[in-house]
Homo-oligomer: A and B are copies of this chain.
Amino acid sequence: MKLLKDRIINDGNALSENVLKVDSFLNHQIDPVLMKAVGEAFIERFKDTEITKVLTLESSGIAPSVMVGLKLDIPVVFGRKRQSLTLNDDLYTSQVFSYTKQETNTIAVARQFLSPEDKVLIIDDFLANGEAANALMDVVNQSGAEIVGFGIVIEKAFQSGGKILRDKGYRVESLAKIESMYEGNIKFVGDTE
């Protein structure tokens, strides 16, 4: 998605070979017009499949997800991230380890919002090692709903998350796939020299 890649080049900040900061349009400040375009790009990529629900994780996944939900007129559910959680039969839960924050969180989704009839598009802002995506996958699998695929805004293709999901047979559509971030130069998969 050219608009998104251009924005990453212009306003993203590769802090190291692994860490990309996109706080000015996705993770802290949000550009709603870009998010609408991101949502439309996801819909275009998955136009051949039926989707009944979008599942994402708070907080940065919410804006692109809501744009998909608005256009398709379907609900969006966001998994809640908690450091500790009182056990509760009404919730599906799974564990997420954050490499950035070096901490384990529990994600929780209320059972009432995922049913075996649902066809779920999982959306997230980043796909790196796949920890968050795996936890969302786990939650959907517990519910018996079908995973239509993963819609990822930015995939760090040099980390293993995307490969793991694709090897499991899931469809993963990433709007910007980063091949490397050497010395602050962001290179996308498929870029020519």
Contacts and interface: CB of A to CB of B under 8 A. Distances in A.
Interface of A: 23-25, 28-33, 35-36, 58-59, 62-63, 66-67, 69-70, 73-78, 80, 83, 109-110, 112-113
A75 B25 CA distance: 8
A58 B60 CA distance: 9
Given A23-B110, A66-B66, 17 more contacts: A24-B112, A24-B113, A25-B75, A28-B77, A29-B75, A30-B75, A31-B75, A32-B73, A35-B66, A35-B70, A36-B70, A58-B58, A58-B59, A59-B78, A63-B63, A63-B66, A66-B67
B73 A28 contact: no
A76 B110 CA distance: 27
- How often does this chain occur in the complex, in copies? 2
A30 B58 CA distance: 12
A38 B109 CA distance: 24
